[in-house]
């Protein structure tokens, strides 16, 4: 494997094959988005998840073919300056589009712990933190006892909202629309785009989010998932930016909000070491270590080293509870049979007691997540010289998250929304000015 400084790229050209792969990428993206929303469960309990994950994988495969031998390039400063205003306008129009759908969604849905306990739990964390109490101890103000299993950056952003009386859902959507979508728009500006590809990319995340909220209003009415999606938008943008400071901060945000990205991080650091240099990789690793230590280890874990294992045990208890429910179609657990994950296959076709099935899913989750990272590493080792490392990292992140959430033990749809919305970054890097494709939702909205 050659280091990035000596890696060369064959001159690319736009031909029928490349246009065909672009069309395939766009169709795969549309299929993924619609299997998550309008077509969810349309192929039944067992084949709908297969169709969903197949669309995600196909998007990544098509992107790999499109980005082979394509050098990373940035727009001239003059073009960037001339489009800042247009980018801001598109950003604003997108935010208005989303808010027109989200405002009645929030105002018409009172927070109800019987529907979703996420917001009441986060409110308790914030109350304890502001009053100087121990945050990570049993919650007793819910209909059931629960040990806190949320990492600090899932609830710390809401601390300022509490004394101001601001609904946490407004904070969550604001984080996604402002820093999250803002980082994405910055990456659009930095790319050499024609006007058509520019506007497709500018509007794509807002249109996708609008469609998701329209089709599944509960998803964004009772949970705070836009905050987590914001963090991953910042991570994807930091990968493309090439800034070690941005990459380190974004990794801290992701790692201290949810464990999802943990298997992908070593792959990313190795790629940075080889391609961006040792100093770059070490700076990113140092920022991550300092962030985790200062935000989680010292203020929380050092006070009670058992909270991490308590949280894992609580998650298993929650999994057993969800798998034991009979609140879905045909008396089946609704979240297991939501048409988005492999959980339905294990639940039905594995002849084991329920607790053993959950254990098996936990093992499959770890094995599949690790396997996709090994696959990414092998692909990088064999073909890395034909790709800019930033492209491989983005595609690898998308593929990894798709697999991670396909095997997650409790496949809540709001968790999987992260992977679906992050697909816009794959479209961002594969659509070139001469290859601009029609908006994926143009014929459906």
φ and ψ at residue 146, rounded to 5 degrees: -150, 130
pLDDT computed for residue 15 by the predictor: 63
pLDDT computed for residue 442 by the predictor: 42
Distance CA 396, CA 64 (A): 10
* Model pLDDT for residues 100-111, shown as the tens digit of each residue: 999 999 999 888
pLDDT computed for residue 19 by the predictor: 86
Distance CA 421, CA 226 (A): 10
- Long-range CB contacts for residues 167-173, cutoff 8 Å, separation at least 24: 167/106, 168/119, 168/122, 168/123, 168/224, 169/106, 169/119, 169/220, 169/221, 169/224, 170/106, 171/227, 172/224, 172/225, 172/226, 172/227, 173/98, 173/99, 173/102, 173/106, 173/220, 173/226
* Model pLDDT for residues 276-286, shown as the tens digit of each residue: 999 999 999 99
Q: How far is CA 110 from CA 15, 115, 445, in A?
A: 53, 10, 28
Distance CA 277, CA 204 (A): 33
Question: In terms of Cα–Cα distance, which of 108, 99, 106, 155 is closest to 127?
Answer: 155
pLDDT computed for residue 47 by the predictor: 97
Longest dimension (CA), the chain: 64
| Token pair of 172 as six digits | 């969550």
Task: Collect all residues with Cβ–Cβ distance below 8 Å to 421 and sequence separation of at least 6.
Answer: 205, 208, 209, 212, 229
Q: How far is CA 437 from CA 64, 78, 86, 197, 440, in A?
A: 17, 25, 20, 7, 8
| Token pair of 394 as six digits | 């983005």
127, 119 contact by CB (below 8 A): no
420, 212 contact by CB (below 8 A): yes
418, 401 contact by CB (below 8 A): yes
Task: Collect all residues with Cβ–Cβ distance below 8 Å to 297 and sequence separation of at least 6.
Answer: none
Supply the DSSP symbol for 146: B
Distance CA 327, CA 158 (A): 32
What is the pTM (predicted TM-score) of this model? 0.93
pLDDT computed for residue 328 by the predictor: 77
pLDDT computed for residue 279 by the predictor: 97
pLDDT computed for residue 217 by the predictor: 86
Task: Collect all residues with Cβ–Cβ distance below 8 Å to 162 and sequence separation of at least 6.
Answer: 123, 126, 127, 130
Query: Is 7 in a helix, a strand, or coil?
Result: coil
Listed as ranges, residues in the chain with pLDDT below 50 are 1-13, 435-445
pLDDT computed for residue 167 by the predictor: 95
pLDDT computed for residue 434 by the predictor: 53
């Amino acid at each position: 494997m050659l280091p990035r400084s000596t890696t060369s790229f064959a001159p690319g050209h736009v031909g029928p094959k490349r246009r065909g792969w672009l069309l395939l990428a766009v169709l795969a993206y549309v299929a993924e988005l619609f299997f998550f929303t309008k077509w969810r469960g349309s192929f039944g309990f067992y084949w709908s998840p297969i169709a969903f994950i197949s669309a995600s994988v196909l998007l990544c495969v098509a992107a790999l073919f499109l980005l082979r031998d394509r050098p990373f390039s940035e727009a001239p400063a003059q073009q960037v300056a001339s489009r800042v205003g247009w980018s801001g306008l598109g950003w604003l129009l997108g935010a208005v589009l989303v808010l027109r759908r989200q405002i009645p969604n929030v105002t018409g849905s009172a927070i109800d712990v019987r529907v979703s306990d996420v917001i009441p739990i986060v409110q308790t964390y914030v109350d304890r933190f502001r009053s100087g109490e121990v945050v990570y101890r049993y919650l007793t103000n819910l209909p059931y006892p629960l040990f806190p299993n949320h990492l600090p950056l899932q609830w710390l952003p809401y601390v300022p909202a509490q004394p101001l009386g601001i609904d946490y859902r407004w904070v969550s959507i604001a984080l996604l629309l402002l820093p999250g979508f803002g980082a994405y728009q910055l990456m659009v500006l930095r790319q050499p785009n024609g006007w058509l590809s520019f506007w497709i990319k500018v509007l794509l995340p807002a249109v996708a989010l609008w469609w998701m909220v329209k089709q599944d209003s509960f998803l964004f009415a009772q949970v705070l998932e836009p905050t987590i999606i914001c963090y991953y938008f910042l991570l994807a943008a930091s990968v493309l930016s090439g800034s070690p400071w941005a990459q380190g901060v974004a990794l801290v945000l992701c790692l201290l909000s949810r464990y999802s990205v943990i298997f992908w991080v070593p792959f990313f650091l190795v790629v940075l070491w080889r391609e961006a240099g040792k100093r770059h990789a070490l700076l990113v690793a140092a920022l991550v270590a300092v962030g985790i230590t200062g935000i989680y280890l010292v203020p929380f874990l050092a006070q009670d080293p058992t909270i991490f294992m308590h949280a894992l045990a609580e998650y298993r208890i929650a999994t057993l509870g969800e798998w034991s429910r009979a609140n879905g179609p045909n008396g089946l657990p609704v979240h297991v049979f939501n048409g988005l994950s492999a959980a339905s296959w294990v639940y039905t076709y594995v002849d084991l007691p329920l607790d053993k099935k959950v254990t098996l899913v936990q093992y499959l989750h770890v094995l599949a997540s690790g396997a996709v990272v090994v696959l990414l590493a092998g692909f990088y080792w064999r073909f890395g010289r034909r790709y800019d490392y930033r492209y491989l990292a983005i595609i690898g992140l998308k593929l990894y998250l798709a697999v991670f959430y396909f095997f997650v033990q409790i496949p809540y749809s709001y968790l999987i929304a992260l992977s679906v919305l992050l697909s816009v970054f794959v479209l961002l890097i594969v659509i070139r000015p001469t290859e601009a494709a029609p908006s994926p939702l143009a014929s459906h909205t």
